[in-house]
């Protein structure tokens, strides 16, 4: 499901290719870690020429310890995650670097059994 707020401008500051990569990685993670339930994408106005991207899912969620490691390259929540879901552990570190390069940021709100990710 996707939601675009009515006040979102049709023009925002940023590199379209990098923005596409951020969306691909955020949505890919949400889908990969949500076996049942839903994934929701929201786009909201975050100030002049700025965009807030929110990805919310009903996936497996994360502990505080897992969240603290999540943006490190080649690191996943834990070793069982790699075995069960695959991946290299680069997606979110790339998302953070790209967002920061465009003067943005990435924040994770999650608890075990209830996943939420927003940028």
Going along the chain from its start, the domains and CATH numbers come out as 2-108 (3.30.565.10)
The pLDDT tens digits for 60-82 are 888 888 888 888 876 665 555 55
Statement: residue 9 has pLDDT above 90: no
Read out DSSP for the chain?
Answer: -EEE-TT--S--SS-HHHHHHHHHHHHHHHHHT-SSS-EEEEEEE-STT-EEEEEEE-S----HHHHHHTTSTT--S-HHHHHHH---S-HHHHHHHHHHHTT---EEEEETTEEEEE-
Q: Say what the pLDDT of residue 5 is.
A: 93
């Amino acid at each position: 499901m996707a939601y675009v707020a009515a006040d979102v401008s049709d023009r925002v500051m940023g590199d379209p290719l990098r923005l596409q990569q951020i969306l691909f990685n955020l949505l890919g993670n949400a889908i990969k870690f949500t076996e049942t339930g839903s994934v929701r994408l929201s786009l909201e106005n975050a100030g002049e020429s700025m965009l807030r991207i929110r990805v919310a899912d009903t996936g497996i969620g994360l502990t505080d310890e897992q969240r603290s490691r999540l943006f490190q390259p080649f690191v996943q929540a834990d070793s069982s995650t790699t075995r069960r879901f695959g991946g290299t552990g680069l997606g979110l570190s790339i998302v953070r670097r790209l967002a920061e390069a465009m003067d943005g940021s990435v924040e994770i709100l999650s608890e075990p059994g209830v996943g939420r990710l927003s940028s």
